[in-house]
Amino acid sequence: AQKITQTQPGMFVQEKEAVTLDCTYDTSDQSYGLFWYKQPSSGEMIFLIYQGSYDEQNATEGRYSLNFQKARKSANLVISASQLGDSAMYFCAMRFREVTGGGNKLTFGTGTQLKVEL
């Protein structure tokens, strides 16, 4: 069974510093996609970045980059130059190909609460 693990329930970082949020996954599938979402206290889920299992380069999107280590089954999110507005819950999620019904749904990790401090 597919599983996503985020081992950091909470993280603190100082403004303008970089922070890494950990995500490991477990799957026997060769084809899968990894996503990171941000959820501010208001509740909406904001898509940040995507990494495909066959992508050779690490994904980057502005201040977000993904440290993808396929052999270790990890897909850590790196946020550079942290801002106060980055304070939120961050979820790692994985999608794999599902043969029977369901339409390849996302499996979410438990999340990491990030707090950016002055």
Partner 1 sequence: GAVVSQHPSRVICKSGTSVKIECRSLDFQATTMFWYRQFPKQSLMLMATSNEGSKATYEQGVEKDKFLINHASLTLSTLTVTSAHPEDSSFYICSARAGQAIDQPQHFGDGTRLSIL
SS3 helix, strand, coil % of the chain, rounded to 5? 5, 50, 45
What DSSP designation does 72 have?
T
* C-beta of 102 vs 118, nearer to partner 1: 102
Q: Which two tokens stand for residue 52?
A: 């495909």
Span from 12-20, 39-47, 62-70, 75-83 in contact with partner 1 (CB under 8 A): 39-47
50 binds partner 1 (CB under 8 A): yes
* Residues 6+ positions from 103 with CB-CB distance below 8 Å: none
Sole binder of partner 1 in the list 42, 57, 72, 118 (CB under 8 A): 42
Contacting partner 1 (CB under 8 A), which of 1, 43, 99, 118? 43
What is the Cα–Cα distance from 70 to 51, expressed in whole angstroms? 11
Instruction: By CB under 8 A, name the binding residues for partner 1.
Output: 31-33, 35, 37, 42-47, 50, 52, 91, 95-97, 101-106, 108-111, 113
